[in-house]
Amino acid sequence: MREVDFIVIGSGIAGLTFALKAASQGHVVVVTKRGRAESNTAGAQGGIACVSSEEDSFELHIRDTLTAGAGLCNEAVVRRVVTEAPGCIAELIQMGVEFDRYAKGNIGHDLGKEGGHSKRRVLHVQDFTGLAIERALLRRVSEHPNIELLENHMAVDFITMKSLSDEQSSTQADVCVGVYVLNERTGIVETLRSDVTFLATGGCGKAYLYTTNPDVATGDGVAMAWRAGAVISNMEFIQFHPTCLYHAEAKSFLISEAVRGEGAILIDARGERFMQKYHPLAELAPRDIVARAIDAEMKQWGSKCVYLDITHKSADFIKRRFPKVYETCLKYGFDLTQRPVPVVPAAHYQCGGVKTDLNGETTIAGLYAAGEVACTGLHGANRLASNSLLEAVVLANLCFKKIMNSRPSSGQKFALPKWQSSRAEEVSEMVIIYHNWDEIRRIMWDYVGIVRNGQRLQQANARLRALHAEIQGFYQKFKPSTDLLELRNLITVASLIVKSAIQRKESRGLHYTLDFPEKNDSNYLHDTDMRIDPP
């Protein structure tokens, strides 16, 4: 057993921001299951929202966030995140993030505009903002003597007081006191002990067949917190990004919403623009509306995609503002400057997650969460574009301040038990894992997608329940591996999405069901909270 001051699980913007803060107070171990730069943060193109101009205001940003959230945002959280934003942006700039500025005179930042925003307020580094932030934070982390970064280590399960012996837990509330971690190189599950565990594992896009997310986004943090007994909220609200490149080899490459913010339009298979039929803001409507509109147009005309057209802009502007998008599209045979490119929606962002308060505190003492894995109340039923990186950095800061003001302590010293496992067999054929992985993702795409209904949700629930029993059998029989642990987490988070969707018998934000196509404020103007008792 290793005892450390702070455990951080995840190496995106939330995890690294918290690690850098906490390192001023003690030794920090950052656990990341792949390479240190593999995260949803690194793939974020659009930018980070922050009031930065005289024509904008906190009240406008707050209003836009609340409108997108369809009645489920926590206004106090929205207000705090929006007003804390300028200070957090200043810290990122101090760490070396160079947000784009206007070419002439270098007067201020070149602010982008995205769907749902009433003003230009999106700071960006061309179209690879997340990568620029990730690199700046990693440089600081790599140089800090108090931060130890464990790559190729995967968190398995939290260790809580209630999961220990009756003698240790009989008179105490549930407290997280550590985590079991698989060292992928040795195959050994190690024990980390700390009074502070900060969860920042990102989302669960890989639960769907088509997603903009990297391979690491398997819902690990939500699944671990669920097994430990934490409250999980609003998992029915999965955001589908409207415009992903439609190509067999592109792996759902995301074409940033900022492209539409700079004037790109959506056209159908006949070459006709259609978004004005669905919303007054047309292409700049909130993402849930744009994604459903594309889905409807594809079904109406029997087409496999729609098209994004920005050819009316100069080639120089497109190449300068969107170099990554331009080069990637060109790689697959589409010149963004010459003709429209084919796009489809794909699973993009998890608006629900581990329920926390404004300081990142979960319902288990000693366990904190921030970023996409957490449900803070900021996003409600639908995330406003470019609020995700903002939420992650603000909540990481607020969480650190809270911990410093009331440092948690278990109040006693004790040794945590070693990982106990009767599993002695290696997985004989990986096909059994890959087949189940593929089946989960197809079930979720076909039955729990942009448009849902009760029958499909019940079918998904029944099949996932059978798969869960099968996968649990694998977990008990075989030695732990990253693939097996990800599969275990994936079936858990997929089941949570389905069960949450079944509970919400209305349409709100990202959850749209044909059975109940209208909002029902009298019965469903609240979070969908789910919890189990820990083992």
Average pLDDT value for residue range 56-80: 97
Q: How far is CA 75 from CA 68, 82, 399, 442, in A?
A: 12, 10, 18, 36
Active site residue 452: no
- Choice among 36, 80, 227, 287 that is catalytic: 287
**Tokens 């999106």 sit on residue:** 122
For residues 440-461, average pLDDT: 96
Inter-residue contact 261 to 284 (CB < 8 Å): yes
Amino acid at 5: D
Contacts of 80 (CB under 8 A, 6+ apart): 358, 394, 398
Predicted TM-score (pTM) of the model is: 0.92
Strand residue runs (E) in 274-419: 306-309, 341-350, 353-355, 367-369, 374-375
> In this predicted structure, what is the pLDDT of residue 534?
40
| pLDDT surpassing 80 at residue 426 | no
Record the tokens describing residue 8, joined without a space: 């951080």
Q: What is the pLDDT of residues 173-207, one digit of tens each?
A: 789 999 999 999 999 999 999 999 999 999 999 99
pLDDT 10s digits, 217-244: 999 999 999 999 999 999 999 999 999 9
pLDDT at position 452: 96
Mean pLDDT for the chain? Answer: 92
Domains by residue range for the chain, with CATH: 2-45+126-235+351-405 (3.50.50.60), 238-348 (3.90.700.10), 431-518 (1.20.58.100)
What pLDDT does residue 491 have?
97
Highest mean pLDDT out of 32-46, 76-90, 104-118, 402-416: 76-90
- The share of the chain scoring above pLDDT 90, in percent, equals 81
pLDDT recorded at residue 104: 52
Angle, CA 78 vertex, CA 256 and CA 353 arms, to 5°: 70
| φ, ψ of residue 177 in degrees (nearest 5) | -120, 5
* pLDDT tens profile 473-509: 888 888 899 999 999 999 999 999 999 999 999 999 9
Q: Are 450 and 295 in contact (CB under 8 A)?
A: yes
pLDDT surpasses 90 at 170: no
Lowest average pLDDT, out of 36-45, 424-433, 508-517, goes to 424-433
pLDDT single digits (tens) 268-326: 989 999 999 999 999 999 888 999 999 999 989 999 999 999 999 999 999 999 999 99
Q: What SS3 state is found at 219?
A: coil
Angle, CA of 64, 18 and 510, to the nearest 5°: 35
153-162, 169-178, 247-256, 293-302: least confident range: 169-178
| Cα–Cα distances in angstroms (integers) from residue 316 to residues 126, 279, 320, in the given order | 13, 31, 6
Token pair in block for residue 18: 């918290």
